[in-house]
Structure 1
């Protein structure tokens, strides 16, 4: 009983530290949540190389492998993050089967699924549809490209408008009650599941990136490491996204396909926007998690017990 109580107390303390809620003297000065993500990301280590190599998806990764504040390690093989799974090959399905997944959560809205196709999964799996609004991002992108009009595309995406639109998307992660409900449901699924789980959106970088950032912070991973994992989508997606831009130019769809780079990338500025909104509405990340998402101490402890060695 004493060991159990000690582990429980330690779990709560580490989770509090990860969320920057302990006194300043108790937290590592370079990784406190009070520091802007842009600042702490500057010296961040390379993201853990947990990629699951697939032919039909480029941003599929094991969330595990990171060290926590107290020197423990986030377990591998428990939770995976991904981009769209609609173009998986037969070989990909074999690879996916080896992960032992029992749950696949799809954050895409119906328009994305209709355009890109439903998940292609091993026979024993069916996706759980849990759409998180992209604030019209997908429609915005399709409309801009479909116009084939460089003037209209510049008006829609140029002069910082694309990046501003992305910041608005991230605000909805905090302000939209349905989004909060679905992020919370996913974190509870992870806490309560004893089998491997995967969640994904279209590019595996924004809705999926935010979910992963929350999960890593909750289980005690330092801010700078969680930000590095978030930013790693730019590395995993770089070659594919460059090919998309080149195809748009060669196909006569866009004279300046670089206009969509802010929509293709993740940036600390976007993450900062969501975190600032969480501070404004809930007093910080912890308030967002406990009040905005409704996660109680028991759920947070179960997350840590499931995810950390």
Structure 2
């Protein structure tokens, strides 16, 4: 229990929900296999990296015009701050030139900087999490089941997640950082990766925006987004089991809406973008500050 108590200190479940409650939560689960891009031996989507459960390649998706996103070019992961030495070596084998970190400064301070292979550049593009995980930490540390139910039950947790996703659009700072991250991808000359803490929400909307911007149909992009649930299921359950065993929550299932990604959350982001800017295309240009040249470079860089 000592590792549980230590992780439930400062930032508490902020890190727990990012698969860092304890080493067993981060590393115990073997990622469920995901489909390869084709039956003819195309690369597998899920990366086998010690210390990561939610790392994958954005290659192999078919666009509206029949082309395909490139393998080995853009990767999405969770935080790289807890990589094992073997994990660092595995990431090094990807040949990355840059890793884009969407975490905020307090998250990095609590969780640690990324453990990157030599020669890989780190780019900070902090996207606000509305102090969501700090709030969760306080709720969990209260050990009060009545308070926890009031704060997370009866749709309250889902409402907080919906507000988070809308804030990716309505917060000018978030739009600026997401736009800058997309430009990082467009201008990359080597493979590039991006991540937040758990690699599911901020990372998820960034991946969704990139895929749709280069012509991947929205339903296909949504399936990539939802894959986080499959990959994170075992480690998320391990976290809930630890929280219960340590006496922090009688009903840790209250955390499930916060641990999962859901179509409703993604729809809140997509719908807010259209509501504020009129169309997805105008969100890209007016909202995120991407120029036609940026979008052409993004397409050229990621689609073949």
TM-score (ref. length: structure 1): 0.83
* Alignment-derived partner of residue 106 in structure 1: 101
User: Alignment partner for residue 166 of structure 1, among 155, 161, 164?
Assistant: 161
Aligned pairs, number: 265
Shift of 1:126: 4.4
1:115 aligns with 2:110: yes
* Alignment-derived partner of residue 155 in structure 1: 150
* Alignment-derived partner of residue 231 in structure 1: 226
RMSD: 1.4
1:217 aligns with 2:212: yes
Deviations 1:178-220 (A, max 9, x none): 1000100111111111111111000101100000000000111
User: Alignment partner for residue 304 of structure 1, among 289, 299, 303?
Assistant: 299
* Alignment-derived partner of residue 16 in structure 2: none
* Alignment-derived partner of residue 198 in structure 1: 193
User: Alignment partner for residue 145 of structure 1, among 133, 140, 148?
Assistant: 140
Matched residues in 1 for 2:143 and 2:123: separation? 35
1:294 aligns with 2:289: yes
Shift in alpha-carbon separation, 1:183–1:241, aligned structure 2, 3 A: same
Shift of 1:109: 1.1
Give the secondary-structure state (helix, strand or coil) at the position aligned to 2:75: strand
Equivalent residues of 1:173, 1:180 under 8 A apart: yes
Equivalent residues of 1:107, 1:129 under 8 A apart: yes
* Alignment-derived partner of residue 64 in structure 1: 59
Deviations 1:163-188 (A, max 9, x none): 00000000111000110001001111
User: Alignment partner for residue 92 of structure 1, among 87, 90, 96?
Assistant: 87
Equivalent residues of 1:105, 1:130 under 8 A apart: yes
Equivalent residues of 2:35, 2:45 under 8 A apart: no
Equivalent residues of 2:56, 2:76 under 8 A apart: yes
- Which runs of no fewer than 5 residues in structure 1 stay unpaired? 1-44
Matched residues in 1 for 2:176 and 2:112: separation? 25
Give the secondary-structure state (helix, strand or coil) at the position aligned to 1:198: strand
Matched residues in 2 for 1:138 and 1:63: separation? 27
